[in-house]
Structure 1
Amino acid sequence: MHSEAQPFVDDETCPELKFRVTGMDCGSCAAKVENAMARLPGFVEAAVSVPLQTMTLRHDGRIEPAAVMRQVRALGFCAELADRQDAERPPAKAAQAWSLRAGPALACGLALAVAYGIGRMFPQAQEIALILSLLVGLVPVAGRAFAAARTGSPFSIELLMTIAAVGAVLIGATEEAAAVVFLFLIGEMLEGVAAGRARQSIGALTGLVPDVALMEEKGVAQPIPAARVVPGMILLVRPGDRIAADGDIVDGVGAIDEAPVTGESVPRRKGPGDAVFAGTINTDGVLRMRATSRAADNTIARIVRLVEEAQESKAPTARFIDRFARIYTPFIVGIAALVAVLPPLVFGGAWDVWVYRGLALLLIGCPCALVISTPAAIAAGLATGARRGLLVKGGAVLEALCKLDYVAFDKTGTLTRGRPVITDIVPLAGHKPAAILSRAAALEAGSSHPFARAVLDAAAAEGVPVPPAVDARALAGEGVEARLGGERLFLGSLRAGAARAALSQSALGEASRLNDAGKTVSVLMAGERAIGLLALRDEPRPDAREGLANLKALGVETIMLTGDHARTAQAIGGGLGIAVKAELMPQDKLEAVRAAQRNGRHVGVVGDGINDAPALAAADIGIAMGGGTDVALETADAAVLHGRVGDVAQLIALSRAVMRNIHVNIGVALGLKAVFLVTTIAGVTGLWPAILADTGATVLVTANAMRLLRWRGG
């Protein structure tokens, strides 16, 4: 926010001050801090982050850090100057929020207990003892109230609490006033702890990455700080070790426990060429891996950074409630004043009775529970999604996900693995499949071509030997040939094979059948005889069919939009049970998305490549698949980091769970206030129920939102 009273200052050249500000629970806390900063001479801009518990202040050079810290501390928060690294550390844990709030509550509770004890022994001194105990809790609250009012936040809960407590003393309800202040402080303490749990669940992710990595150099492993790991570095990972960086396995096979990052309960066996994530655990085997990212850019760090940024983006519901609260609070203050003075002035009611009821209304009317109902649920939902590898870029996106009823998928790398695999080996002339695969692997050894990689992976999976071939050479547009054991071998396209020797009708029939299934067929020849066919295709991801079925169960229609050949696309789509549009250019995908939107559909697009970026941007929600290009990840609104098709359904299910939670929270907040509003005016309830209606509702909605941290999937 900017102060209109300040002269024009070039924002790009303004000095910055960074502070760690702890004790903030919701957006209203941040608003108080921002309003207070705007009153400082030289203020230009303040960015206050509740999730990060930080503030970045831009000024014209006249602001001193000491003045900032005094202003923030007057509002009841802790502030200390921080450098950039401090500001990027995980936010305060729930225990820190407890200690910040616990002192005043415990002091007030102890003073109240002493006052009751004095009253039992010396009844004539009870009133004074209760007033003194009241002051123990009320003085810090009143100080915060006046500091907030002085710095641009007049209608704070602290001010309403102060007016209600002082008014209660003046009409002789001292005992209730003291108890209400104590309950208010207890409620604040519980709110702080509950609100800190979502921050703690994100901050705990950073603890998954070990502090030390084993760097291998010239065959010797030596420990180094994990923060010093750079891309290209070779790391040794022993059984039981946490992996210190994102990377690719170069040697060794091990079962990787990815539960801390992905939520998967069963370890995944990985070997050379497979990607591994920082924070996961190597349960067996010794691995050598090549780091692909710095510590600051690994999967865990990216999750934390994106979620913290997302929590700053308010959902439409949260923005509406903030606007509503700015009108609602002054309105309630006005109603409370009318309740206190109109009945005595107009109808001759008793002043003490109606002033008491007006004071109770002040407490009932506080919008804390309403204001925190949405951001608490959004923060918990974002944190829960992040722990499962579901990244959502803001509350608005999380809210919009629940409306999706039409999801378009790219094929390659999204519904499929993104790399071809050998699907069929057809022996000819009496040869065995293992012998065909062994010879094909000998021809392809040393090549990095996708087909060669598929052949070598299949040979490794089947455990067949790969004998050394000689005189190997690639034939442009045809295939590869080499000599093996005195025999000349050729592996290549059917056309090139047929040019060398006529293929039998049975071989051509098999090749046609495989082509109709969307597979690419190569022929292996020994001399002038065809001895086998190898078929290759980019196969669907293991969970693709189930993931699409889960979307259907949620009432979401799906379609595949791909630039691939129609025959291949139809073969994949038919197996998965999804409608297909094939041979599309990027602009064709974009038009397909817009056509669905013109028909009133809420469209999501799932993709992983540069050619998906226009459609991702045009969709109501763009979802990038994990392992995709940076362009796709930056363009998309959400990302499923671990490449599971089923995670798209999980994103929508999480969004719907969050929105249900928000609706319950708003119902609880408004319902309790409505009930106690009526009962207070009717004289059935008083100050005690009033504070319970406010603080109790705030704790209830926060606790309900925190239930989302235990969400296990829809």
Structure 2
Amino acid sequence: MMDKNNVYRLQGLSCTNCAAKFEKNIRNIHTVDDVQLNFGAAKITVKGEASIDQLEQAGAFDGIKVFPERQRQPEEKNSFWKKRENSTAMISLVFIVIGFIFLVQYGENSPLTIGTFGLSIIIGGYDLFKIGLKNLTKLEFDMKTLMTVAIIGAAIIGEWAEGAVVVFLFAVSEALEGYSMDKARQSIKSLMDIAPNKATIRRGNETMEIDVEDVQIDDIMLIKPGQKLAMDGEVINGQSSINQASITGESIPAHKVIGDEVFAGTLNEEGALEVRVTKLAKDTTIAKIIHLVEEAQAERAPSQAFVDKFARYYTPAIMVVALLVAIIPPLLFGADWYPWVYSGLAVLVVGCPCALVISTPVAIVTAIGNAARKGVLIKGGIHLEETGKLKVVAFDKTGTLTEGKPEVTDIVNVSEMSNKELLSVATAIESFSQHPLASAITRKAEASHANMYTAEYFQSITGKGARASINNTVYFIGKPNLFEEMVSIPTDLNQEIIELQTQGKTVMLLGTEQEIKGLIAVADQVRKSSLSVIQKLHKLGIEKTVMLTGDNVATGKAIGKQLGISETKAELLPQDKLDSIKKLNEQNGNVAMIGDGINDAPALATSTVGIAMGGAGTDTALETADIALMADDLANLPYTIALSRKTLAIIKQNVTFSIVIKAAALLLVIPGWLTLWLAIFADIGATLIVILNSLRLMKTKFDH
């Protein structure tokens, strides 16, 4: 029997080191084969057998609570001050204040002063020492080991006051780190709470309210006005406006009628609806979004991988440097032991890599969570970083830059037939065809209340058009070259055809074997947002925008010019689109391809970043792309690139600042100016600045 994967959510996972230790402790459970911990999402996957009690025992050192994945977690009512580690830090602060009063009155060597500071160290540092000393016996060097050695060393050389202050400030630094990760994870928690966990279901004549886990496919879900939908499904009765902002980021409600798709977590604003459930709770679009966001936050970005690798060698190196600072001057140059041992301890404190370790994950988790709430699904830190470096953006035309829904723009008759009559005949023939151009003619005929004729003996003429008999007359409809073989096209009509094609329109002629009756021009309408999106991309510094289309050169160029696109490549097959992306990659590097995620899959996969549009409606888009714009709209694209660039800049600032402040503080050892106070302030200051800088990503505006 194969071991199954059990997924759990975690509460109280405070720091990256604690996460690594928790993971290691679970691996040591003999019935566990493998374990994967997702720090960003506070989630763990255990392969093998382990009870929740065993898992909580493995995380007892950090007070970690474990819940099954599908169970709604209880809200933590504990305020910041009621958390045990924070309350012990505050008690420690009280003793520090009393200690300084005794210091002023009785001097630093008084048993009262030493005893009070000692109590402060023991109360505030109990958890720290418990882990630090255990690590020291195993020769595991992490932040807590560094701090434990530094504080015990400070007490040994008589610096009780500084030791106590270091304990308190380290506790504050840890609390800040935990708070910032909780804040960053909040975006996932808010996504998880979007969809209700109960649904009103009608089965036969019985109506009941049941858990979403128990809802089955084809159940009928009843939704009243003002209620949120609990499941994905298809409207089978009623119509209403539904606010889909939670899925697509689009605040304008979408009007839904019978046959339309609806999503769990969206808000029914007006009418009552009956919806046939089409997906189980674990497969709904919102469930997939949550899963993808969590996977994305677990995936290490290149800069995070660098930081983690750096920290692995950096911490033991700091231990060695601190030891050398403490012993070399006294042993080799006969210097006094006290100031150099003190300086060595200060090096240990300043070397604590808190700010560096948290510099990347808090930025990435915040950015991915912020984007998900705005309807942009970024499937990993690596894609976030690559989007920030984009130089070229390539677009599919149909359905991306255009609506993908052609409309009749011109009707020209060159015979005794009226425009309405032309439409009637064209519709009768095209009613047999599935082509998008045919549906455009049918829609126009319905809107014009044209006569409904019945065509007989329909025959498709591959690649050119079609023929059929209407009222005993055989009519043809199709491309101009279909008629060139039968009749000569008048010069003025030919001129008109060329002019319409230059405007980006597709021209179809209608007539008999003897004469042309008229023409119908059809064009795919450019999306309203396309022009402003292209302008914003150029403003953002994107060097080149490229349109890739299977349409004819005239149509492609007309639309490209209208939108201000740098380069247009027309008459492309899917293989040609793939080759174009490869060439753009070679010439410019860092190319994004934007398409609908279905017929553009090869090009999306080959580009540096594949971006799919309309992810809310297609599983393919969610699965094939690196980034999915959930709304069927390009307006989110400039926001995504701006957010990625801001994240990249913030990560660079964080890493640079963390390293520079450490280096500057370490240089103060040379003139002997580095004190334990200064060391811990440098550390906590760096951590605080890195956290606040990362949380700025929550405020990145969503600009249409």
TM-score tier (shorter) = 0.7 to 0.9
Q: Aligned partners of 1:153 and 1:14: how far apart in 2?
A: 34
Q: Which residue type is aligned with residue 125 of structure 1?
A: L
Deviations 1:397-437 (A, max 9, x none): 21112222122222223222333333345578899978987
Within the candidate set 87, 91, 94, 2:69 is matched to: 87
Within the candidate set 75, 94, 118, 1:113 is matched to: 94
CA change 1:488–1:200 in 2 (3 A) is: farther
Contact preservation (8 Å) 1:654, 1:713: no
Q: Which residue type is aligned with residue 546 of structure 2?
A: I
Partner of 2:226: 240
Secondary structure of 1:240's partner?
coil
Q: Aligned partners of 2:404 and 2:218: how far apart in 1?
A: 24
Secondary structure of 1:244's partner?
coil
- Runs of at least 4 residues off by over 6 Å: 90-97, 216-222, 427-449, 479-483, 487-491, 494-509, 523-526, 528-532
Alignment of 1:435-446 (within 5 A): none
Deviations 1:281-331 (A, max 9, x none): 343455555555333223322221111111111111111111111111111
Secondary structure of 2:230's partner?
coil
Contact preservation (8 Å) 1:17, 1:65: no
**Does 2:459 match 1:476?**
yes
Q: Aligned partners of 1:64 and 1:638: how far apart in 2?
A: 36
Q: Aligned partners of 1:96 and 1:524: how far apart in 2?
A: 75
Q: Which residue type is aligned with residue 568 of structure 2?
A: V
Within the candidate set 355, 362, 365, 1:379 is matched to: 365
> Shift in Å at residue 30 of structure 1?
2.8
**Paired-residue identity, %:** 37
Alignment of 1:448-527 (within 5 A): 450-451=436-437, 453-454=439-440, 469=452, 475-477=458-460, 478=466, 493=478, 513-521=499-507
More divergent stretch after superposition (503-512 vs 674-683): 503-512
Partner of 1:413: 399
- TM-score, normalised by the number of residues in structure 1: 0.82
CA change 1:96–1:37 in 2 (3 A) is: same
> Shift in Å at residue 633 of structure 1?
4.1
Q: Aligned partners of 2:176 and 2:496: how far apart in 1?
A: 70
Alignment of 1:227-306 (within 5 A): 227-228=213-214, 235=221, 237-247=223-233, 254-269=240-255, 275-286=261-272, 291-306=277-292
Secondary structure of 1:419's partner?
strand
Partner of 1:658: 647
**Does 2:545 match 1:558?**
yes
Contact preservation (8 Å) 2:13, 2:19: yes
Q: Which residue type is aligned with residue 555 of structure 1?
A: I
**Does 2:41 match 1:52?**
yes
Q: Which residue type is aligned with residue 549 of structure 1?
A: Q
CA change 1:212–1:351 in 2 (3 A) is: same
Partner of 1:362: 348
> Shift in Å at residue 139 of structure 1?
1.6
Q: Aligned partners of 2:433 and 2:209: how far apart in 1?
A: 35
CA change 1:336–1:234 in 2 (3 A) is: same
CA change 1:18–1:286 in 2 (3 A) is: closer
Q: Which residue type is aligned with residue 591 of structure 1?
A: D
Q: Aligned partners of 2:642 and 2:467: how far apart in 1?
A: 48
> Shift in Å at residue 691 of structure 1?
1.8
CA change 1:422–1:297 in 2 (3 A) is: farther
CA change 1:701–1:291 in 2 (3 A) is: same
> Shift in Å at residue 450 of structure 1?
4.0
Q: Aligned partners of 1:178 and 1:668: how far apart in 2?
A: 27
> Shift in Å at residue 441 of structure 1?
7.8
CA change 1:42–1:206 in 2 (3 A) is: closer
- TM-score, normalised by the number of residues in structure 2: 0.83
> Shift in Å at residue 273 of structure 1?
6.0
Deviations 1:434-467 (A, max 9, x none): 898799889989997645644565578x6x6688
More divergent stretch after superposition (233-242 vs 612-621): 233-242
Q: Which runs of 5+ in 2 are unaligned?
A: 461-465
Deviations 1:5-55 (A, max 9, x none): xxxxxxx94565655443334543332233344555566432111133233
Partner of 1:137: 124
More divergent stretch after superposition (236-245 vs 202-211): 236-245
More divergent stretch after superposition (545-554 vs 508-517): 508-517
Contact preservation (8 Å) 1:203, 1:304: no
Partner of 1:179: 165
Partner of 2:463: none
Q: Which runs of 5+ in 1 are unaligned?
A: 1-11
Structural RMSD (CA): 4.2
Q: Aligned partners of 1:446 and 1:236: how far apart in 2?
A: 37
CA change 1:419–1:232 in 2 (3 A) is: farther
Within the candidate set 85, 90, 94, 1:104 is matched to: 85
The count of aligned residue pairs is 687
> Shift in Å at residue 597 of structure 1?
2.6
Q: Aligned partners of 1:41 and 1:226: how far apart in 2?
A: 35
CA change 1:481–1:414 in 2 (3 A) is: farther
Partner of 1:586: 574
Q: Aligned partners of 2:423 and 2:261: how far apart in 1?
A: 26
Contact preservation (8 Å) 1:32, 1:153: no
Secondary structure of 1:208's partner?
coil
